[in-house]
Amino acid sequence: MPLKEYGAGPGEVIHRWDGGLSWMAHPDEGFQRTSHALVVGGEDGPRHDADGDSSDPPVWLVDPVDAEAIDDELAALGSVAGVVVLSTYHRRDAEAFAGRYDVPIYLPARVSGIAGELDAPVERFQGKLADTGFRAIPTVRFPWKEAVLYHPGRKTLVAADSLITMPDRTAPDERLAVISYLRLFPPRDALGGLDVERVLVGHGPGVFEDAQAALEDALAGARWGAPRVLARNLPDLLRSVYVTLRD
């Protein structure tokens, strides 16, 4: 099984909920790269403009990887308003989506240093993401830079790499884990006080059941779980580091 596959994948929607959907473009790759479409206003029915005409709710794409049928799925949700990149390692297919939908790429202040590498209009933001209700919370500074998105009303947390569910980065009893490189210094100050009902991640399925307990356990158990993860998955971890740095 390759860790990472290239080009637009066959695509598989792995989650649907009132506020959006998540998909894996290449379901069989080892990295399990997950992308998200967040719908703003969709739960309350169609939006209306100043003249009273109904319009589709805006859809925000987070760390997207291209898939063959994903445009049809997105059209059913609403109108794409922007593309968000949460990590310096998650450019993925953001430029392709931004070009296809003629929207900017939005970068949290923590990862805005990659703006010059992107062939698309860029909007930098700190704190609130436009009028979505989501806000960016800085997390990782080294060895990469990352922010998460959090919506307190929807109790939804979207992480890129700092939290993970893919098997070779978790212990057998972990439904959600801090990524291996951060286990000794988990982002407890940034994430510890959040009230969540769902946690979406950049690698692996999201957590929709008892998400609050899963997040608390991941942060509290990060350090003591590190030796088990390293002993169980060291070859895969080293291989994934090589692939990430190579690309």
Q: pTM value? A: 0.88
Looking at residue 51, its pLDDT comes to 45
Helix (H, G, I), strand (E, B) or coil at 137: strand
As a residue count, the chain comes to 247
Higher-confidence residue of 76 and 45: namely 76
Is the pLDDT reported for residue 122 higher than 90? yes
Is the pLDDT at 227 greater than 70, yes or no? Answer: no
* All structural domains of the chain with their residue ranges: 12-246
With a pLDDT cut of 90, the percent of the chain lying above it is 71
CATH match for 12-246 among 3.40.190.10, 3.40.50.720, 3.60.15.10, 3.20.20.70:
3.60.15.10
- pLDDT at position 30 is 87
- Confirm if 73 and 23 have CB atoms less than 8 A apart: yes
Rounded Cα–Cα distance for residues 148 and 38 (Å): 14
Please classify residue 6 by burial: count the beta carbons closer than 10 Å to its beta carbon, then call 0-12 exposed, 13-18 middle and 19+ buried. Answer: exposed
List the one residue out of 185, 168, 182, 178 whose CA is nearest residue 237: 168
Q: Which residues pair with 15 in a beta bridge?
A: 22
Tokens of 193: 């006080």
Phi and psi at residue 42, in whole multiples of 5°?
A: -65, -30
Q: Cα(238)–Cα(111) distance, rounded to whole angstroms?
A: 24
